[in-house]
Structure formats: C-alpha cells, structure tokens
C-alpha cells in the first residue's frame, strides 16, 4: 500500500506577520512535489492570517488545542475555534508540551479524542528522552505513549503519527536513518498487533528531530519513514528541499 508522503512544518513560537508573510510567499511560489501532503503548524494567534495567505494546496495546523469545545479555560483554544479559522489539523503531544508544560499521556489522549470527534486531523507526537534511550527503554516509552493515543482513535485515516526522539529536537543531533527506521518499523509492528494490520499498513509514521536539507533524502529513503515533522528548518527556504526529499 502506498502511503502519501507527509511533511509538517512546526513553526513553534516563532515569526511575525512580516517574516511569516515572506516565508509563505516563498512557499506559494515554490515548485513542491505534488505527491507530498504539506501542512504548516502556525502559532494560534496567526492561524487566520496564515490560512488566508498560504496557497490552498498547503494545509495549516494549530500547534495544540484543549479537550473540550468551550468554557473557562483561559489561554486555551478548542478544535471548534481552529476549524472556524479554516484550519483542519492540530499537532498534539509534542515533546515540548509533554516536558516543558507537563502534559500527561492521559491528557494528550483526551485531546486526541476530542480533536478527532470534531473533524480535525491529528499529528500525534511520541518519542523518548536521551536517558530513556540510553537505558534501553525506547520501545517501552514509545509504545506506552502510542497506546494512549490508539485508545482514543476511532478513525485512523485522520491520524499521522510523528516519532520525535526528544534528544534530537533542536539539538542538531538527528537519529541516524537506521535508528529512525528501526523505531518506525517497531511502531508499525505494534500497530499490527494492537490495532490492526490494515491500520499498520496505512497509517503514516513521520520522523521529527533536527531534520534538515542535508539529512532529509537519506531519511526519506527508509521503508517505514513516511515523511517529516520539521522544526527550525521549516522557517527557512530549505523547507522546500525537505518537502521535495523524495522527488
């Protein structure tokens, strides 16, 4: 089964209308591989702005959302609000949400369920920290995180799984293509055993963690790497090169 290559750009808490406007102009004018699904994760305050300026063929994602439609939750945004801005994706469970803001697996699962019920596509992030990898418990950690997400998914057609080793995010360190492939392959085997063979074959598992123009081609050639979630490089012109890694 052919899985459509997926490249997400996570802009994090970066940019302003001027710099993001210039970035979008570059992307709108670039020759992007038509066989790749591209989604840009914008700061929530700019979702409307980004959706109005970015070419319709490029998707937009919120970087987070809450687990209920509305209420007394100062500073949060809901899937309903995200959709009201014409945006169809959300990134959930990013390691910075887990480890900087203390979000639990359970909360991420609840958010995933609510986002999917409201028709958003979810880029669900999982990944181990350096001490966990060194202790040899990578599989234990990522399987536990994946299980909580899986327990909250009814329609896998709207889910992209993003494996992001925390030790490789923003550090300049990248998991080697072999390390990435090994974890992706094991994740697919876990999905086959615990969800279904059909889901294991169809769900896209993308890699995140200091992906650059220099590392993207070899990573993209791995059998179970179905795309990327790109941080810092998604704010630079080389993002186009990463999108076209398979071309």
Q: The domain containing residue 64 runs over which residues?
A: 5-243
Q: Compute how many other C-beta atoms are within 10 angstroms of the C-beta atom of residue 46.
A: 18
Closest CA to 182 of 211, 221, 222: 222
225 confidence band (pLDDT: 50, 70, 90): very high
Our separate counts of H helices and E strands in the chain read: 11, 8
Say how many domains are in the chain: 1
End-to-end CA distance of the chain: 19
> Got the DSSP string for 85-106?
TT--EEEES-HHHHHTS---HH
The Cα–Cα gap between 115 and 213 comes to 32
CATH number at residue 96: 3.20.20.70
Q: With 80 as the cut, is the pLDDT of residue 1 above it?
A: no
The answer to whether residues 80 and 55 touch, using CB atoms and an 8 Å cutoff, is no
Contacts of 155 (CB under 8 A, 6+ apart): 116
Per-residue pLDDT tens digits for 54-104: 999 999 999 999 999 999 999 999 999 999 999 999 999 999 999 999 999
pLDDT at 161 over 70: yes
- Smallest Cα–Cα separation from 113: which of 84, 75, 145, 151? 151
pTM: 0.97
Beta bridge partners of 122: 90, 159
CA dist list (Å): 109 to 80, 87, 175, 247: 18, 21, 26, 35
DSSP 19: H
Give catalytic residue positions: 94, 164
If pLDDT is split at 50, 70 and 90, which confidence band does 174 have? Answer: confident
Q: How many residues are given for the chain?
A: 247
State what percent of residues in the chain have pLDDT above 70.
Answer: 100
């Amino acid at each position: 089964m052919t899985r459509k290559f997926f490249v997400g750009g996570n802009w994090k808490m970066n940019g302003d209308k001027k710099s993001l406007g210039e970035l979008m102009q570059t992307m709108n004018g670039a020759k992007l591989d038509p066989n790749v699904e591209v989604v840009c994760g914008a700061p929530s305050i700019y979702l409307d702005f980004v959706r109005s300026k970015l070419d319709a063929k490029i998707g937009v994602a919120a970087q987070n959302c809450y687990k209920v439609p509305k209420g007394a939750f100062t500073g949060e945004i809901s899937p309903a609000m995200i959709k009201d801005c014409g945006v169809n994706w959300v990134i959930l469970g990013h390691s910075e949400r887990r480890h900087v803001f203390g979000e639990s697996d359970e909360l991420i699962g609840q958010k995933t369920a609510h986002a999917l019920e409201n028709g958003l596509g979810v880029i669900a992030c999982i990944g181990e920290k350096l001490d966990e990898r060194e202790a040899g418990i990578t599989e234990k950690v990522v399987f536990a995180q994946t299980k909580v997400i899986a327990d909250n998914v009814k329609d896998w057609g709207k889910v992209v799984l993003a494996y992001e080793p925390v030790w490789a995010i923003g550090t300049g360190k990248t998991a080697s293509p072999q390390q990435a492939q090994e974890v992706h392959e094991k994740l697919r085997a876990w999905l086959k055993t615990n969800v279904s063979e059909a889901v294991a074959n169809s769900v896209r598992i993308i890699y995140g963690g200091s992906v650059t123009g220099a590392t993207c081609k070899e990573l993209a050639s791995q059998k179970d790497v179905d795309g990327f979630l790109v941080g810092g490089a998604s704010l630079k012109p080389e993002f186009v090169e990463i999108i076209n890694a398979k071309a």
